[in-house]
Structure 1
C-alpha cells in the first residue's frame, strides 16, 4: 500500500502525550489494553526488543514457558489488530516493528534530538518541540503489570528531561537571535515543570531586565516568594528554594 507520491503508507503512533494510533489519517482503535501496551513499547524506539524483556514487563510472575506462550498469543492479537500483519516482525529472540511500515513520534524526536547541537537549525528544534503534546503516554496505566508500570515511570521521567533540555536549547537559540518574547515563553514552560530550577529563574529575570520589563521582574520575584512560602511547609523543598534565592542574588536583590 502506497500513499500519494509513491511513499509507503505508514501506521502512525503518537506516544508523547495521550497515545494515538492513526492509519490513513483516521484513528485506529485496538480494543485490548495489553495489545496496545505492547505496541507502545515496541514503538518507543522502533528497535528490536528482546522477548525476555517483554516477558518481564508483562508476565514476570508466571513460569517462563507460560509467559512465552502468552507473548506468542499477544503478538498474534497485535498482528490481527493492525492493518498489515507485516508491521510486526519477530525472530526467535527479538520482536520489533517494521520501520518501513510504522512511524512513531518518539523515534522521530530521537532522530532529531541526536543531531549534534551545533548543527541544529531553528527549524529542527521547532520540529522536535512540535512533537510534544504532554507527558509520555499520558493517562496510560496497566494494572497487574508492575514492571510495565515501572517502565512507564522511568520513561516519563526521561522524556520530561528531554523536553527540558530541548527547551534550554530553544531558549539559547531564541536569545542569540534576539527573540526574547519566545525565549521568555519557553522559560515559563520550563518552570511549570521544574519550579525550583535556579538557573532558569535567573535567566528569566535577566531576560525581563533586558526587555526593560520591570513589572514582570517584580511579578517573578512575587512568584518566587510564593514558592518560598509553600516550601516552608516542606523541608525537602527548602534547599531547592535556597538555591533559587542564591541564583537571583547574582542578578539583583532577592524577593
Structure 2
C-alpha cells in the first residue's frame, strides 16, 4: 500500500506576485518588503542553509554588521507572529536559517521541474509528453518572479527564470508547429510576443504560422506590430527573416488581387456606391496615417454639414486600412446619450480589435477598467477595486488604465469616433490624456464633427485647440460636391442614364449634399420630374426632410424664426 502523500504546510507563489497559503487559507500578514525579500531569498536557496551574517548583509548592505544583525533578529521575531507554524517551516538557530524539508510547495520549483521533464521527454523522442510538460510550465508562469522586489540579487534571479520561460514558449511553439497544431501554436506564439515584445523570435514564428494558414492579413498585422514596436523602443527595423516574409506575402497579395474594378463596381467595404469627389480628402487622411504609423499619434477631424459624407469618408479609409491587416475600432456618440459617461470609450474597448489585448493587462488595470466594463469582474472575481474618481490620484489611475487598454492592441491602430460633438466631458478629457501619453505610439484617431456644433460643444473646442497647438491634429473640411461629382454619383445610383439638364437640376436642388443626392435618386424623384419644367422645384424626400428638421430643431427660437423668414424670401 502506498504511503500517504504529505500535505505541505505552506503553498507559496512567487511567479507574478507574492502569495502564501496555509491549509487552504491565504496568509496576509507578511506585508513588509524586507520580510518578503527574506522569505523569497530563503525559498530560492531552500536546499542550502543560509548564514545569518550573510542574510543580514544582504538585506541591510549599508548598515553596520551589528545593526544589520539586530535588524534581522527583529525581522525574525515579527515573522514568528506572521507565519503560521513558523517553527515547523523554518529551522532557525544562532548561526543559520533554512526551510524544513517537505514543508512547502513552491511554484518556482514546480515550474523548473516541468521544464526539466519536458527536456528529458524531448531527448527520448516523446514529443507529446514534452508538449504536455511545457504547457504545464507555461501555465504556472503567471508573471515574473516577485515583481514587487527590486533587490539586485532578485533582478538576476528574475531574469534567469524569465529566460527559461521564454525558451519554454519557443520550444512549445516549435513542437506544436511540427505536429501541425497550428491554432495552438499561434496562441503560444502570441503569448511569446506579449511577454517579449522586443524579441524577434515570437514575431517570426507568428508570421510563419499565419502564412501557413494563408492568412495574409494576419501576417501583415504582426509585421506592422513588430516594426512599430522595434522603431519605438530600439530605433531599429525588423531583421531580414521578418522582412522576407512580409515582402513575400505582399507579392502574393498583389499577384492574387483581382483586376482594377470599373467605375461602376462596388467600393471597398461593400459600400452601396463608390466614394465620389473626395480623392484629395482621402489622400490627406492617408498622409496623416503615414505620419502616425511612424510613431506619432495624431487626430484627424473630418468636419462638415449633416449628410456631407463625413462618416462615408472615414469608413472608406477604414475599409482600405482593414484590408491591409491593420486593426481598427469604431465608436459613435449619440445626441440622446451625450451625458452618458464613457459610452464611446466602452464601444471601443468592446471591439474585436482591442478585446484580446485588454485581457493581457495586469489585474490592477483590469480592476480600473471594470468600472465601465463590468464583464471583466464577472470573468475575474479577484480584480481589485479602483480608488475614487473624485480624487486626483484615483482619476489618474483610471485614465492610465484606459491608455493601457488602447495601447495593448497590436500597433499600429486606427480609432474612429463618429459625431464627437456629442461626446461626454470624461471621454474628451481622456482623449486629450491619451494623445499626450502615447507620444511615440503609432495611433491615428479619426473623429467626425458636424459644423455649427451646439453651444455645449465647448469641451470639444478646447480639446481640438490643445491638439492644434501641439501639431497633433489635422482638420479635413468637406465641401459640397461640384456638378461633375454630382453627375458621377447620380450615374452610379440611377438605373437609367442621367441627362445633363437633370444633373444640373439635381445639383441645384440638393446643393451638392451627397445624402440629399442619394435619397433623391433612391426615392425615384428624377424619374418623376424627367419631363417637367427644369425650373420647377424637385420634391423633397422624407429622409432629406428629416435631416433638415433635425437641424432646425437644434436652433434657438430666434434663429429658427430667421431661418423661416429666409425660406419665405428665397
Same fold, judged at TM 0.5 (above): yes
Secondary structure, in 3 states, of the residue corresponding to 1:209?
A: helix
CA distance in 2, matches of 1:104, 1:71: 24
Alpha-carbon separation, structure 1, partners of 2:161 and 2:197: 17
Maintained 8 Å contact 1:14/1:105: yes
> The residue matched to 1:40 in structure 2 has which SS?
helix
| Structure-2 change in CA distance of 1:60 and 1:175 (3 Å) | same
**Match of 1:186?**
188
Find the aligned partners of 2:41 and 2:60 in 1 and give their Cα distance.
15
- Is the CA contact (8 Å cut-off) linking 1:15 and 1:44 kept in structure 2? no
Matched, 1:78 2:79: yes
Is 1:135 aligned with 2:144? yes
Distance in 2 separating the partners of 1:35 and 1:214: 52
Q: Contact 1:50–1:94 at 8 Å: present in 2 too?
A: yes
CA contact (8 A) 1:30 1:36 kept: no
Which 5+ residue runs of structure 1 have no aligned equivalent? 142-147, 232-236
Give 1:226 deviation, angstroms: 2.4
CA contact (8 A) 1:208 1:216 kept: yes
Pair 1:168 & 2:149 matched: no
Corresponding residue to 1:153 among 130, 133, 155 = 155
State the Cα deviation string for residues 63-84 of structure 1 (Å, max 9, x = none): 2233223323322332332221
Residues 184 and 53 of structure 1: CA distance in aligned 2, closer, same or farther (over 3 Å): farther
Q: Is residue 199–residue 247 contact of structure 1 (8 Å, CA) maintained in 2?
A: no
Change (3 A) 1:182 1:68: same
Match of 2:223 among 221, 224, 233: 221
Deviation at 1:93, TM superposition (A): 4.7
CA contact 1:45–1:107 (8 Å) conserved in 2: no
Deviation at 1:28, TM superposition (A): 0.7
User: What is the aligned counterpart of 2:202 among 200, 203, 208?
Assistant: 200
Cα 1:37–1:207 shift into 2, 3 Å: same
Contact 2:21 2:27 in 1 (8 A): yes
For 1:93-132, list aligned pairs within 5 A: 93-115=95-117, 117-119=119-121, 121=129, 122-132=131-141
TM-score (norm 1): 0.81
Q: Does 1:23 align with 2:22?
A: yes
1:53–1:251 distance in 2 versus 1, CA, 3 Å = farther
Match of 2:36 in 1: 36
Q: CA deviation at 1:164?
A: 0.6
Structure with the greater alpha carbon radius of gyration = 2
> CA offset at residue 191 of structure 1?
1.5
Query: d(CA) in 2 for partners of 1:90 and 1:31?
Result: 18
Unmatched tracts of structure 2, length 5 or more: 123-128, 251-570
Distance 1:118 1:88, change over 3 A: closer
For 1:52 and 1:187, locate their aligned partners in 2 and report how far apart those are by CA, in whole Å: 45
Question: Alpha carbons of 1:127 and 1:77: their partners in 2 closer, same or farther (altered >3 Å)?
Answer: same
Summarize the Cα distance change of 1:30–1:216 in structure 2 as closer, same or farther, 3 Å threshold.
same
TM-score calculated relative to the size of structure 2: 0.38
Aligned residue for 1:12, secondary structure, equals: strand
Q: Structure 2: how far apart are the matches of 1:206 and 1:188?
A: 12
CA distance in 2, matches of 1:6, 1:113: 23
Deviation at 1:103, TM superposition (A): 1.4
Q: How many residues align?
A: 236
Give 1:25 deviation, angstroms. 1.1
| Pairwise CA distance, 1:16 | 0.2
1:42-74 deviation digits (Å, cap 9, x = unpaired): 123423234343122211122223322332332
Q: Partner of 1:137: helix, strand, or coil?
A: coil
Using CA pairs under 8 Å that are at least 6 residues apart, name the structure with larger relative contact order, 1 or 2.
1
Q: 2:64 aligned with 1:63, yes or no?
A: yes
